[in-house]
Structure 1
Amino acid sequence: MKKKLLIYAHYFYPDVASTGQILTELADGLKDTFDITVICVVPSYSGVVDEKYKSKRIYNEEYNGIKVVRVRVPEFEKGNKISRIKNLLAYFFNSLIATFKIKKQDYIFTISQPPILGGVIGVIGKWIKGGKLIYNIQDFNPEQTMAVGYVKNKPLLNLVMAVDKFSCKVSDKVIVVGRDMQETLKNRFNNKKVPTNSFINNWINENEIYPLKENHPKIISFKEKYNLQDKFVIMYSGNIGLYYDLENIIKVIGNFKDNTDVIFAFVGDGTVKSKIEEYVLSNKLDNVTFIPYQDKADLIYSLNAADVHWVVNAKGIKGVSVPSKLYGVMAVGKPVLGVLDKGSEARLIVEECNCGICVEPGDYEGIKNKITNIIENKEKIKLLGEKGRIYLENNLTKDVSINKYKEEILLTNTR
């Protein structure tokens, strides 16, 4: 008989959040080993909730043989803190109500989303339903918010740090997504009584995202639709949010506004997008374009449409988070323009396989020089991307990571 595994996913299919996609594929990969129940929000990553999900508190569904319990949340605006907090609290409390309605569990798996609450809900889930708790930290908080100065209230930061450390202590195992993040965990506990932990890379489905020829009809139509044809495309694809220093990087890009054969494409959305658009308009950067999020089925075409991809983190994010967009870039065999701290997981991978060039966050002159170098050595740079795909196939496939999760969950013992 299969062991029961409860996953608190926050976002889950069909939401396009990167953690939602990871957890959807993880649950799908584990369902032959475990009897899985997922608790998540109703589809709402965009901030909008469909009418059919507004009448009840809890919706019981099924996805590929996985029990999915969706909880109602209010709509929100990504740039509005209050509406976001209301949305997250609704997920937290409604998920607890949903937890009472399911059977006892052998394992509880939760992630660090929403920040702090993700860990707490796992702890409470363990108290309510029993089982061993696995806490998967995708981003360390409050370290992430501290790094970009999003919250500066010291007592509040100390409180949330204490809460998340407690979640780590109660967990039977903590799984992080980068080697640098293991160091952060050790530092949290001053190398004393560090919770049992391991590290497993995130992934992208390498059988769904792979290199395509430049003359592929879907790539040609994508380029025509967004006026990218006959241009050297340097692309940023993903969340245009707080933790990537894009407000300053766009100023560096401004130095290249007269390079008419180069175009800088931003694919996605997020809290910082309007600021960047404002800068582009006021400074007449005609070679910068904004493209909406692509459906998951079309991601392969947008990623392949670029010649080079940005993989960036703001200063101070080392050991706190790993930009998951790296795996998509490597999957399509494109070179990386990395703005990443030395010793960070993403930079370690780029340097190990030589699939791109990197510069320190905050080194704007260095970023400018790297872009110049790329433009002057276009063909040579393109060859680096092939090395990323080879490395990914050997070390970072979906099956490799999911099998590691399976082993780590099954090996989890209460201390």
Structure 2
Amino acid sequence: MVEKVKTDKKKLLIYAHYYIPDVASTGQILRELAEGMIHEFDITIVCVVPSYTGKVADEYKKKMFYKEEVNGVKVIRIRVPEFSKSNKISRIKNILAYFIGAMIATFKVGKMDYVYSISQPPILGGLLGVWGKWMKRAKYIYNIQDFNPEQTMAVGYSKNKLVLKAMMMFDKFSCRQADKVIVVGRDMVETLKGRFKGRKVPNHTFINNWIDEKEIYPLPADHEKVVAFKEKYGLQGKFIIMYSGNLGLYYDLENLMNVIEKFKDREDVVFAFIGEGTIREKLVQYKEKHNLQNVKFIPYQDKSDLIYSLNAGDVHWVVNAKGIQGVSVPSKLYGVMAAGKPIIGVLEEGSEARLIIEEVTCGYVTEPQNYKGIEEVITQIIKLKDDSNLSEMGEQGRGYLVKYLTKDVSVKKYTQEIGSSG
């Protein structure tokens, strides 16, 4: 008897905000998720035109919507106005243009069985999913990458109690409307439960984020492209303590510079910051004002070059500001582990990233705002810079990731959870 080939795939609509070629970490995750699930679902992505940097290419300025197909995934891109990351008003206009455009785009995609949205943009991502559920009469899966308003409150981005209360009300509504809520950390499960004390907690599960371990992996120190990267940015012959990722509000990086300054006379050590973000300029100004010769700022690296930049670091920061525990999980953790590098974790006790580092013993950890503790960890790491224990920590991280935190492991879980939502 010939087995029937599966042709009647269920249709899945994903509100992604950013999608490739944009370099936002959620965009990369959603690309790998969508492409990993196309054997099971007929997938349509609704996202903005490439614009993560704030700029929009001329070819995306002519129409409201652009239909494309990327690696078997249907994509509807929405034109949005350009913005500056340091200008709140321009960012709000940009986000609202996506929100309204995505609501309209919902009518352009036909029948859907499932709707999936992430918590980006904050609050609006969840509400888009509810809109899609209602308009398509579909099952709704809400993936919370960051809890808001909790994140907004933690870093003091807004102190307006009325606004924060409204944000909480809307996001709890999105959670209740969801047929399934997926969070990305064990600590985030507790936050979800805490939101609904004494009331029915929405149906939920926890799935770690991941990295493609076949794209990021350890390379020898003398690999020609790793050497070329070091030479290009003046890092050769140094012990490199690296931060790679968004230079934003959620990492307490300005106070980290105060600690780094204590090591300004170490000519054998360099602190490299790779990436862009809202506070990059402040960090550069601090470096110049305090004449920190051993601090380097390096632009975002293309995804194809990330393997070389991550391998150039001898040890990597994985940091969060105080109050982020249970709110989000720094995705840079997975890239560092994939590259087989040891970690300096500045993370709250009980947070998902810290739990992993402690369970795997792939780095040193201390609490956010414990600046004396951070200084001691850096001192200890520098003492061990030629010690095999340091490289063994990195190897343990890589080994754990390959076993439990790969793309295939997590995508399989998502496929099962989405498919079982209805």
TM-score range, shorter chain: over 0.9
Select 1:383's aligned residue among 386, 389, 392.
392
Q: State how far apart, in whole Å, the 2-side matches of 1:191 and 1:214 are.
A: 55
Q: How far apart are 1:159 and its partner, in Å?
A: 0.5
For 1:309-328, what aligned pairs fall within 5 Å after superposition? Answer: 309-328=316-335
Residue identity matched to 1:386:
E
Q: How far apart are 1:381 and its partner, in Å?
A: 2.1
Residue identity matched to 2:420:
L
| Aligned alpha-carbon RMSD (Å) | 0.6
Partner secondary structure for residue 350 of structure 2: coil
- Encode CA deviations 1:247-289: one digit per residue, 9 max, x unaligned: 1001100000000000000000000111111110000000000
Q: Check if 1:260 corresponds to 2:235.
A: no
Q: Which residue of 2 aligns with 1:201?
A: 208
Q: Which residue of 2 aligns with 1:78?
A: 85
Q: How far apart are 1:191 and its partner, in Å?
A: 4.9
Q: Which residue of 2 aligns with 1:160?
A: 167
Q: Which residue of 1 aligns with 2:313?
A: 306
Q: How far apart are 1:129 and its partner, in Å?
A: 1.1
Q: State how far apart, in whole Å, the 2-side matches of 1:99 and 1:334 are.
A: 43
Q: State how far apart, in whole Å, the 2-side matches of 1:42 and 1:191 are.
A: 42
Unaligned 5+ runs, structure 1: none
Q: Check if 1:395 corresponds to 2:404.
A: yes
- Encode CA deviations 1:122-158: one digit per residue, 9 max, x unaligned: 1011111111000000000000010011100001100
Q: TM-score, normalised by structure 1?
A: 0.99
Q: Check if 1:146 corresponds to 2:153.
A: yes
Q: State how far apart, in whole Å, the 2-side matches of 1:129 and 1:381 are.
A: 53
Q: Which residue of 2 aligns with 1:250?
A: 257
- Work out the number of aligned pairs and report it: 413
Tell me if the contact between 1:308 and 1:382 (Cα under 8 Å) persists in the aligned partners. no
Q: Which residue of 1 aligns with 2:189?
A: 182
Partner secondary structure for residue 338 of structure 1: strand
Q: State how far apart, in whole Å, the 2-side matches of 1:270 and 1:188 are.
A: 30
Q: TM-score, normalised by structure 2?
A: 0.97
Partner secondary structure for residue 256 of structure 1: coil
Partner secondary structure for residue 361 of structure 1: coil
Tell me if the contact between 1:252 and 1:367 (Cα under 8 Å) persists in the aligned partners. yes
Q: Check if 1:352 corresponds to 2:391.
A: no
For 1:264-303, what aligned pairs fall within 5 Å after superposition? Answer: 264-303=271-310
Q: State how far apart, in whole Å, the 2-side matches of 1:373 and 1:383 are.
A: 16
Partner secondary structure for residue 35 of structure 1: strand
Unaligned 5+ runs, structure 2: 1-7
Q: Which residue of 1 aligns with 2:420?
A: 411
Q: State how far apart, in whole Å, the 1-side matches of 2:117 and 2:155 are.
A: 25
Partner secondary structure for residue 272 of structure 2: strand
**Identity, % of aligned positions:** 66
Q: How far apart are 1:372 and its partner, in Å?
A: 0.3
Q: State how far apart, in whole Å, the 2-side matches of 1:16 and 1:371 are.
A: 30
For 1:212-223, what aligned pairs fall within 5 Å after superposition? Answer: 212-223=219-230
Structure 1 segments of 4+ aligned residues over 3 angstroms from their partners: none
Q: State how far apart, in whole Å, the 2-side matches of 1:365 and 1:276 are.
A: 20
Q: Which residue of 1 aligns with 2:370?
A: 363
Residue identity matched to 1:172:
D
Select 2:120's aligned residue among 113, 117, 123.
113
Q: State how far apart, in whole Å, the 2-side matches of 1:377 and 1:100 are.
A: 59
Partner secondary structure for residue 130 of structure 2: helix
For 1:32-181, what aligned pairs fall within 5 Å after superposition? Answer: 32-181=39-188
Q: How far apart are 1:100 and its partner, in Å?
A: 1.0
Most deviating of 334-343 and 190-199: 190-199
